[in-house]
Structure 1
Amino acid sequence: MLRLQKCILSRLLSSPATSPIPHFHRVLSVSAAVVSSRPSFAVEEYLVATCGLARDQALKASSKLSHLKSPSNPDAVLAFLADLGLAPADIAAAVAKDPKLLCTGVERTLGPVVVGLTGLGISRSEILRLLSLAGDKFRCRSIVSKVQYYLNLLGSSEDLLRVLQRSCYLVGSSFNRVEPNVAFLRQCGLGACDIAKLCICKPRMLISKQERVQAMVAYAEGLGVPRGSGMFRHALRAVEPLNKEKIAAKVEFLKTTLMWSDCEVKIAVSKAPIVLTVSKDTLQRKSDFLISEMGLEPAYIAHRPAMLTLSLERRLRPRYYVMKFLKEDGLLDHGKDYYSILLINEKVFVDKFICPHKEAAPHLDEDYATTCRGEVPTRFRFT
């Protein structure tokens, strides 16, 4: 592998048209010649004048670069980043985020990293995004092996970059923590696709202590979502930010607010674990509407918990008012189930329940749109 990397690097260096690191040997020699004529190297001024940092950024960054005695290596790094395709503003942002980037060896570290990432099929634009997201982890040659691991785990470079947007620490974490967590999730019945989706949403789960991941699994099972079930991944996602006390408080709130029994809570969570993530205020308002205004039974809601995840203002209330209006005017069969009407997409709802009644109820579409904006038109104020 080492011989292959040297071969690739050698070819890239000898081909300016394709190389991600052209001319840096020339930059190094020119910088070395110029520095001998300079009386001293003012780091803060260099960061402002050459790197494009704001004065306050330069002052903060310069404390980490006080050991620099010449611009030779920083010049080579800036030339490397520019040749890689990084815009001046992005270079400034990268340096401000990780000042020690200017101390990194181009030939020893940055060049081999870019060569390695390119060999994994990472495009030039993706390398630039990775540099921005990974920060100081980018100047470690081990990033190549970590990117390779996560590419295999997640399935694509785009998904890897999405994960790093949520948690850049992933490429800095030890495999000694990540691999046992992945193995444990597989033992729990999660397939590669499920693990990838879970990690994209909750990347911290991969780098958590295994005891913590085991606790999440226990919480999910305790809420009535067994390993191997279709909702197990969603349950892990819901409990990831919670501890035992917070879960108990959530369950108690669901019981009190929606008048559910312990059994009904488990039924609801097993069907839609995301209800655990709905805020107390939102749950209270939806409970008031569904139970007090619509007259739905708590058990009916427990068996159809997805309605608790829908918007009260843009879905629950407007569609209920439309259906109530149509029924009171004799335009709709009273046997229609409200829950099934909630689940259809917006276009289907309008085509099926608004458009056919333009003659009998010419203002229905306008009233529906008004209700979706949070207002209640006169025709929807039922007595």
Structure 2
Amino acid sequence: MIRLRSCVLTRLLSSPSAPPTPFRPHRLLSAAPLAVSPNPSFAVEDYLVAACGLTRPQAVKASAKLPRLKSPANPDAVLAFLAGLGLSAADVAAVVARDPRSLCASVERTLAPVVVGLSDLGLSRSDIARLASLAVHRFRKEDTVSKLQYYLHLFGSSENLLRAMKFCDFLSHSLERVVKPNVVFLRECGLGACDIAKLCIQRPRMITANLQHLQAMVACAENIGVPRGSGMFRHALHAVAFMSEAEITARVEYLKSTFTWTDAEVGIAVSRAPLMLTRSKESLQRRSEFFISEVGLEPSYIAQQSVLLGYSLEARLRPRYYAVKFLKENGLLKRDPSYCTVFKETEKVFRENFICPHKEAAPHLEEDYDAACKGEVPTNFRFT
């Protein structure tokens, strides 16, 4: 039996040095497991510490969930299987600590078939190892493969799905009762497959929320001035997800006071850049000081161009401002450009319009601009 298990595991698992490409095992263990006599000297706690790498307190807690474990035979097979997938000793310890009963799962009847199913979906060995660490107790459930097939289609890739699973245990929720109705509702709100995928990545728990709660989130997004079907709706839903009305109101009031906006102006600003509701007070305060005190823009103008508040202050806004200010002060610009245009242009276009044409007249401009983009903003750009 041990030799048979070793043979199958060898076929199941590619070598550690192999590239993370999908592997396709074609044969599972079919022989019935041999009966194992109970070992009266077997101490579960000691085994969890010595073989699984748990701390003594973790072992005490885990052993309470393993009252019928009388032999190391099956746990040894499970540990070998997990290690063969590519899990490190620390990963294996984390899996056992979170789901002690996984040590009682049958490698032949439970774990191996799941791995086969996942590999048939196109998951690589490293993907499956990450999934084993993230899903833990779900990894030994019969519906794991069918659920993963749905989520892979929803998220668009295994990388997107596994990244989101760090924050939400999708596999523990019912597809038919919870997830699919939520996805249908989001589609009814005008969101396409790509938008829903992005939203799931940004707010993973949204598709596992109660449908009534999701409907309330949509109502909040509409209440901040972003209608369903608009290009900003996904961003608005992202911004208000899991925020109470009181929290949204408090953030709107802070925006009004920070940028000295009227009710109408803050409404325009939020509807055009809803993600500003997710920014910290410190971040908003620094942007207010930059745009109003340093650049000299009017609050009403900032409200109309509130998308500017989403750009990086250190890596984009300040460097470009200093570069254009230098060019203007030294008479190197034929016309006074709009700062909205200056800040919105792509990096390539900005350099083509404001850096490259002045290399001879201002030989240090590019060097100073590059330094500014790295956070090393000089007091004044150098002319000579």
Q: TM over 0.5: same fold?
A: yes
Q: Distance in 2 between matches of 1:192 and 1:126?
A: 23
Residue 4 of structure 1 corresponds to none
Residue 18 of structure 1 corresponds to 11
Q: TM-score when scaled to structure 2?
A: 0.84
Residue 93 of structure 2 corresponds to 92
Q: Distance in 2 between matches of 1:184 and 1:74?
A: 44
Residues 62-141 of structure 1 mapped to structure 2, 5 A cutoff: 62-141=63-142
Q: TM-score when scaled to structure 1?
A: 0.85
Does the Cα contact within 8 Å between 1:24 and 1:80 map onto a contact in 2? no
Q: Distance in 1 between matches of 2:316 and 2:276?
A: 17
User: What's the CA shift for 1:214?
Assistant: 0.9
Residue 16 of structure 2 corresponds to none
**Which has the larger displacement, 100-109 or 364-373?**
364-373
User: What's the CA shift for 1:79?
Assistant: 3.2
User: What's the CA shift for 1:322?
Assistant: 1.6
Structure-2 change in CA distance of 1:317 and 1:84 (3 Å): closer
Does the Cα contact within 8 Å between 2:273 and 2:306 map onto a contact in 1? yes
Structure-2 change in CA distance of 1:281 and 1:19 (3 Å): closer
Q: Distance in 2 between matches of 1:91 and 1:318?
A: 48
User: What's the CA shift for 1:83?
Assistant: 4.2
Which protein is richer in helix relative to its size? Answer: 1
Residues 1-383 of structure 1 mapped to structure 2, 5 A cutoff: 18-19=11-12, 28-29=33-34, 32=36, 38-167=39-168, 169-175=169-175, 176-372=177-373, 374=375, 377-379=378-380
Does the Cα contact within 8 Å between 1:24 and 1:76 map onto a contact in 2? no
Q: Give the counterpart letter for 1:301 in structure 2.
A: I
Q: Distance in 2 between matches of 1:366 and 1:158?
A: 38
Structure-2 change in CA distance of 1:125 and 1:100 (3 Å): same
Count of aligned pairs: 365
Does the Cα contact within 8 Å between 1:265 and 1:302 map onto a contact in 2? yes
Q: Distance in 1 between matches of 2:171 and 2:166?
A: 12
Q: Distance in 2 between matches of 1:74 and 1:195?
A: 41
Does the Cα contact within 8 Å between 1:162 and 1:200 map onto a contact in 2? yes
Q: Distance in 2 between matches of 1:208 and 1:75?
A: 38
> Alpha-carbon deviations, 1:299-344, whole Å to 9, x = none?
2111211211122223222221221121111011342111111123
Task: Give the secondary structure class of the aligned counterpart of 1:190.
Answer: coil
User: What's the CA shift for 1:225?
Assistant: 0.7
Q: Give the counterpart letter for 1:207 in structure 2.
A: T
Structure-2 change in CA distance of 1:78 and 1:24 (3 Å): farther
> Alpha-carbon deviations, 1:215-270, whole Å to 9, x = none?
11111111111111111111101111311111111111222221222332232223
Structure-2 change in CA distance of 1:23 and 1:312 (3 Å): closer
Q: Distance in 1 between matches of 2:285 and 2:85?
A: 53
Q: Give the counterpart letter for 1:340 in structure 2.
A: T
Q: Distance in 2 between matches of 1:180 and 1:147?
A: 17
Structure 1 gaps of 5+ residues are 1-11
> Alpha-carbon deviations, 1:120-155, whole Å to 9, x = none?
333333222111111212122122221122123223
Q: Give the counterpart letter for 2:172 in structure 1.
A: G
Q: Distance in 2 between matches of 1:19 and 1:287?
A: 58
User: What's the CA shift for 1:200?
Assistant: 1.4
Root-mean-square deviation (Å) = 2.9
Structure-2 change in CA distance of 1:317 and 1:87 (3 Å): closer
